[in-house]
A and B are shown apart, each in its own frame.
Chain A
Amino acid sequence: MEQVYLHFPILQVLIPLLLAPICVLVGRSTFSWLITFFGSVSSLVIAISLLHSVSDGSSISYHIGGWPPPIGIEYVVDSANAFLLVLVSGISTVVLLYARDQIKLEIDEENHTLFYTCYLLCLTGLLGVLITGDVFNVFVFLEISSLSTYVLVAQGAKRDKRALKAAFNYLIMGTVGATFFVIGVGFIYMATGTLNMFDIYERINDLESSRTVRASYAFIVIGMGLKLAMFPMHLWMPGAYTYAPTVVTTFLSATATKVSLYVLIRFTFSVFHFDFNFIEQVFKFLVMPLAIIAMFAMSFVAIFQKDIKRMLAYSSIAQIGYMLLGVSLLSSEGLTATFVNLFNHGITKATLFMSLGVLTLYSGKSFLSDVQGLGKKMPWISASFLIGGLSLVGIPGTAGFISKWLLVQATIEAGVPILALLIILSSLLAIVYIWKVIEHLYFMEPHSELASQKVSFRILIPLWILSISCLYWGFDTSLTVGTSDIAANNLFNNVIKLN
């Protein structure tokens, strides 16, 4: 115990996992919130210290139960997952700061404890997926996070019964995705006889022509595609994001799909070899076209949405298109762009959903007409929505600009400048739908019956932390771009340096 930091990789996952049953055993709303917050903050602290210790491109390995890999389960921290660990635990902490008041309005008192328990379990699952170096362990943690996510989405039922249908829809699609994924893992195990990612990487070398390996990759791509809402498999997402409680939407939009995308990247680069012929073809002929369709079609659909939450959900699917486009270039620059995009889009979407949640705190309705004229009544909150919107579009000076810029650069370096043009064109569509909200916020007369609503500081502080970080990461890119660069290089060249 004298060297606690040696155990940080396990504590990262363990603390929220340990606090979840304590939450149930004690069962008081305020207490549950306190320990959930405590768990989230300590995860954040651990994640930051892990990121700090791997920022030179090295990696940390932790052997669960003292069994060395490939026999035992290994946790591996490198700059790629440490970066996302910080994102997930950071977003979770900020969301929790604001969750307390919102949850009181949106969920019945007797369900609060179980809500926070599920939240903790979801956090555990997401962190676990990121940190583990064992392919079956990825599945286990993915299920922990998904199952608790379904419950969290269903909690929206107090305000709108359609949340139940959305949650069920998500349950079916998510379970199909998880099943496909585990079939893929089974095939890898069949072909290589091991479950440790880095052991598989070595053994799979001469198995490129093996049909089992190809089938397993196909299953994994489809499984993860469902989880991350890759374009034609996105149908669960608008419903789930629209009807879930705002707190849940904010948290999920910034983390869950990002983590699934990370899994896809990790499998492509650290489990399989990305220069396998069939993987190149999957990305060239399947993922890239789908990503481009998503960028346009989903942005276009978003323009015609009346419900702002649904609009933002469609915009998320379009944004996932940009991230997949970055990966499908199969270049180090493309990966860097995707990692930066993961982080920046996480913050941006969280800002948008959170400010929308505060704007519609009491009514709970998020139609365009419900926010009409709120720009004058709630100037601070509307301003933060504006910042989030600008960042989503990619206006210079915001975080969104950096990620779009890197992506454009990556496409040009990959020798396909037409993609750069498409990225810019689809960004114009984002301007249209964001403008629709801005127009309703600032240029329309408010409903007369709408009384001025009091919003406490406990809500404003996390909201402004997010909005300012949207601006901050638009200027200071040393953390985001620097870390992503190291992460992408490590993944691309598959360098796992153990200290």
Chain B
Amino acid sequence: MQHHLILKIVTKSIVGIILLFGLYVQFHGDYSPGGGFQAGVIFAAAFILYGIVMGLDKVQEVLPFWVVQKLAALGVLVYALTGVFSLFMGFNYLDYSAFSPHHPEHGQHWGILVVELGVGITVTGVIVCIYYCFASRTPHLDDGEW
């Protein structure tokens, strides 16, 4: 006996598209609406949707709690290390021109991409983490109790 068959089928087919759209927003954020924060939220939304429909256990098989925690930290590290890279190249902190000293415009472009990647990773981590924290507080519902 399977409950919410339609929801589950739709979720399965849509999760991949959401993730793909998240990546699109992430990497086109520099010249179209979007960026790290929006992409991170969209990316996290895919996991949250999966979690709501399939249950917390199922989604934590894909993305365990400890991974989420480390992701949140990793993004900050990516952001900060981008700045440190500029320092090592002899520029001021977070001066993206360091990425391409001969073409500062390209450098600025690439720098923003890397920094936004960091933002995206952290936001994904934090949003999923918040969801996990709230979701794991309530006892699991049996299928019959819906």
Contact = CB atoms under 8 A, between A and B. Distances in A.
Interface string A1-33: 110000100100010011011111100000000
A63 interface: yes
Nearest to A18: B80
B73 A25 contact: yes
A25 B90 CA distance: 28
Contacts of A22: 73, 77
A66 B97 contact: yes
Contacts of A18: 77, 80-81, 84
B20 interface: no
A10 B93 contact: yes
Interface string B76-105: 110011011001111111111100000000
A25 B77 contact: yes
B80 A14 contact: yes
Nearest to B87: A7
A66 B80 contact: no
Contacts of A10: 83, 87, 92-93
Interface string B3-18: 0000000000000000
A38 to B, nearest CB: 16
Nearest to B95: A66
Nearest to B94: A65
Contacts of B95: 65-66
Contacts of B80: 14, 17-18, 21
Given A14-B80, A64-B94, A65-B96, A1 B88 contact: yes
Interface string A26-66: 00000000000000000000000000000000000011111
Contacts of B87: 1, 7, 10
A99 to B, nearest CB: 21
B135 interface: no
Contacts of A14: 80, 83-84, 93
Interface residues of B, number: 22
B74 A25 contact: yes
Contacts of B96: 65
Contacts of B73: 20-25, 117
B28 interface: no
Nearest to B91: A66
Contacts of B70: 24-25
A63 B92 contact: yes
Contacts of B97: 66
Contacts of A65: 92-96
Given A14-B83, A66-B97, A20 B92 contact: no
B66 to A, nearest CB: 9
A428 B41 CA distance: 58
Contacts of A64: 92-94
A2 B89 CA distance: 10
Task: Give the residue among B73, B88, B93 with the most A Cβ atoms within 10 A.
Answer: B93
Given A64-B93, A66-B95, A21 B77 contact: yes
Contacts of A1: 87-90
A49 B101 CA distance: 30
A487 B107 CA distance: 39
Interface in A63-122: 63-66, 117
B58 to A, nearest CB: 25
Contacts of B81: 18
Contacts of A25: 70, 73-74, 77
Nearest to B92: A66
B69 A24 contact: yes
Contacts of A66: 91-92, 95, 97
Contacts of B84: 14, 18
Given A18-B77, A24-B69, A2 B93 contact: no
A18 B74 CA distance: 10
Interface string A157-192: 000000000000000000000000000000000000
Q: Nearest 6 pairs between A and B by C-beta? A: A66-B95, A24-B73, A21-B73, A10-B93, A21-B77, A65-B94
Given A21-B76, A66-B95, 13 more contacts: A7-B87, A14-B80, A14-B84, A17-B80, A18-B80, A21-B74, A22-B77, A23-B73, A25-B77, A62-B93, A63-B92, A64-B94, A65-B93
Interface of B: 69-70, 72-74, 76-77, 80-81, 83-84, 87-97
Interface of A: 1-2, 7, 10, 14, 17-18, 20-25, 62-66, 117
25 contacts: A1-B87, A1-B88, A1-B89, A1-B90, A2-B90, A10-B87, A10-B92, A14-B84, A14-B93, A17-B76, A18-B77, A18-B80, A18-B81, A18-B84, A20-B73, A21-B74, A21-B80, A24-B70, A25-B73, A62-B93, A63-B92, A64-B94, A65-B94, A66-B91, A66-B95
